[in-house]
Amino acid sequence: MLSVYLFIAMQVGFANWNPDSVHTANNFQVGVDNLGFTDTYESSFWGSIKSSWFRLKRINSKTLNVPEAFRNPLPITYYKQRKKIYERTRQHPGKNRKVREYTYKTQRRPLIIYIPGIYNNPSSGQPRRAYQRFKEAGYHFIALPNPWSTSYIKANPYGAKPGDVLHEAYSLRIAIDKAIALIGKKHISNIELVGASYGAFVAAVIQAFEPKESALFTSTTIISPPLDFRYTIPFLDEQMLSINGQVEDLKPSSKLKIFINYLFAGFRTDIDEKYLKKAKPYTIQFGFKDGLLTAVKTYAEVHGLDWIPNFDTDEERKKWEEKLVFTSYFKTYAPELLRVLQSEFAFLHYWIQAAQTSGYSPRVITAQDDFLNPEFFPTKMTLLSYPENIFLRIPEGGHLGFLAFPWYDGFYQTVWKDIKKSSAL
């Protein structure tokens, strides 16, 4: 069956990876392009710290009223490409000087719809980094909240719980239509969907449901997705339990030292060895455990649920928090979702197939050492059978860590051309 879909994929005019992108990925030089990182957790944590720096970048924010999908307004961030046009020069009232006046005209450009990784709000560092890249290249940009983020949960998608990936795709697809109005359809030449990590999987589901005759997106780019939740969830649970007791209650000053050490490191050897040894527990604790606890608490608070026990001591609270993993969340609070996440719907391949039957195909890029998708996953070989114009793998880069490599800037430019430069020619 897979061969049939691969044949279709090579015949239909999908917006797949172009030859320059494939060439750049295939020429990734281990030891140089990976900046000396050979451990998946080291590069992943370093990359996450690098993305957090982009929180300092300003971006427009707005809330959307999407009553068809959310009970409360949904926060997003966005940017319009506008051209500054000189209008006139006038005398400034009360001051002996002249003032030049300008108007701003929204330009017709491609629009990027971005769904960030797990727990990311639309104003988090990860979507701000994407915004900065696309803004500088001349694209309109809209970032949506990840379904596990506090922004999304507080918007209240009519009680849908975190992890309800089918409902999340449905709700965000409705929100996308509303968000497009911020830019204005007449100012959009085409729309591209981009997702990272959990947001990448949701993006694949959204693309799969697009009708063949009137699909909104000209391409869907999937970056570092979980390939199969049937294996990713229990494996990630194991990692979360394995680090219990390894991440001490860090003081703010200690966290700042770690942050600065990773942030200003241009190469692996720039990072203190004691911090490199803690890369795995830092990645799992700050990247997954803390966010899961926040998501559960936020959902319980929004809906007035007694999900969080009353603890007599801090020790009891700590033990409860240490035992909270994704499987225990689903079994305790959302058992109805396990039927989906333990079925074929949990497999990225299913959604790529569904998209292909409608005449479209997401394009995927990931790192071979991504800890979310170890080589021993039994279904991984199915995805590795896809041709390179659909599924690209680079040797090193961890989970989203390669997005901070200088190499990625070159790869990015092979995929999304600099419209500002081409417009100036």
Residue 163: pLDDT band (50, 70, 90) is very high
Q: Count of domains in the chain?
A: 1
Residue 3 scores a pLDDT above 70: no
Q: What is the CATH number of the domain that holds 289?
A: 3.40.50.1820
Return the minimum-mean-pLDDT range out of 12-16, 220-224, 247-251, 267-271: 12-16
Contacts of 111 (CB under 8 A, 6+ apart): 139, 140, 141, 142, 180, 183, 188, 190, 191, 192
Burial of 202 (0-12, 13-18, 19+ CB in 10 A): buried
What pLDDT, on a 0 to 100 scale, did the predictor assign at position 211? Answer: 86
Residue 7 scores a pLDDT above 50: no
For the stretch 64-105, pLDDT in tens is 999 999 999 999 999 999 998 887 888 777 777 888 888 889
Give the structural domain span for 209: 2-424
SS3 334: coil
Structure tokens at 351: 């959604």
| Structural Rg of the chain based on CA atoms | 22
Q: What percent of the chain has pLDDT over 90?
A: 81
Closest CA to 225 of 318, 101, 364: 364
Residue 357: pLDDT band (50, 70, 90) is confident
Contact (CB, 8 A) for 79 and 59: yes
Between strands 82-91 and 98-106, the pairing is antiparallel
For the stretch 363-404, pLDDT in tens is 999 999 999 999 999 999 999 999 999 999 999 999 999 999
Residue 121 scores a pLDDT above 70: yes
How many Å from the N-terminal Cα to the C-terminal Cα in the chain? 47
42 versus 98: the higher-pLDDT residue is 42
Contacts of 218 (CB under 8 A, 6+ apart): 15, 190, 191, 192
Closest CA to 235 of 339, 134, 364, 376: 376
Residue 4: pLDDT band (50, 70, 90) is very low
Let me know how many helices (H) and strands (E) the chain has, helices first: 19, 10
9: Cα separation from own chain's centroid: 25
